[in-house]
């Protein structure tokens, strides 16, 4: 009669945990993380422009998540360098979106 856990059992257990971990990671990455659509980008960027305008283009940080997500659309690619309301191009980019 053998006592304790065999090396094979431990290796199979570790391998099983690793496989489950990879599956959970892939499900999270591809199924649960949602990319912004072009319409959502437009809405979020207009919201940022309105906030900047209400702050009179003062020192207000712009979310890097939104600008990086939206920069993959050609019409929003100019937003990749916008990090603050008082940056030189932010007000011009907002005017292009129709926020004066």
Q: What is the pLDDT of residues 2-26, one digit of tens each?
A: 666 688 888 999 999 999 999 998 8
C-alpha 16: how far from chain center: 31
Do 45 and 5 lie in one domain? The reply is no
pLDDT above 90 for 94: no
pTM of the predicted model over 0.95: no
Do 15 and 57 lie in one domain? The reply is no
Do 26 and 45 lie in one domain? The reply is no
Do 67 and 85 lie in one domain? The reply is yes
Do 47 and 92 lie in one domain? The reply is yes
> Domain residues for 77?
38-96
Average pLDDT over residues 81-89: 79
Do 43 and 86 lie in one domain? The reply is yes
The SS3 of residue 84 is strand
pLDDT above 60 for 1: no
Do 47 and 71 lie in one domain? The reply is yes
The SS3 of residue 61 is strand
Asked whether the beta carbons of 93 and 78 are under 8 A apart, the reply is yes
Cα(62)–Cα(77) distance, integer angstroms: 15
* Domains in the chain, number: 2
Q: What tokens does 50 get?
A: 């309105």
The pLDDT score that the predictor gives to residue 71 is 75
């Amino acid at each position: 009669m053998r006592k304790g856990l065999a090396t094979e059992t431990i290796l199979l257990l570790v391998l099983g945990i690793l496989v489950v971990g990879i599956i959970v990671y892939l499900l999270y990455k591809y199924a649960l993380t949602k990319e912004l659509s072009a319409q959502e980008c437009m809405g979020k960027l207009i919201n940022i422009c309105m906030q900047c305008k209400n702050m009179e283009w003062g020192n207000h940080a712009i979310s890097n998540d939104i600008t990086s997500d939206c920069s993959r659309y050609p019409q929003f690619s100019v937003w990749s360098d916008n990090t603050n309301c008082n940056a030189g191009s932010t007000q011009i980019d907002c005017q292009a979106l129709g926020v004066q």
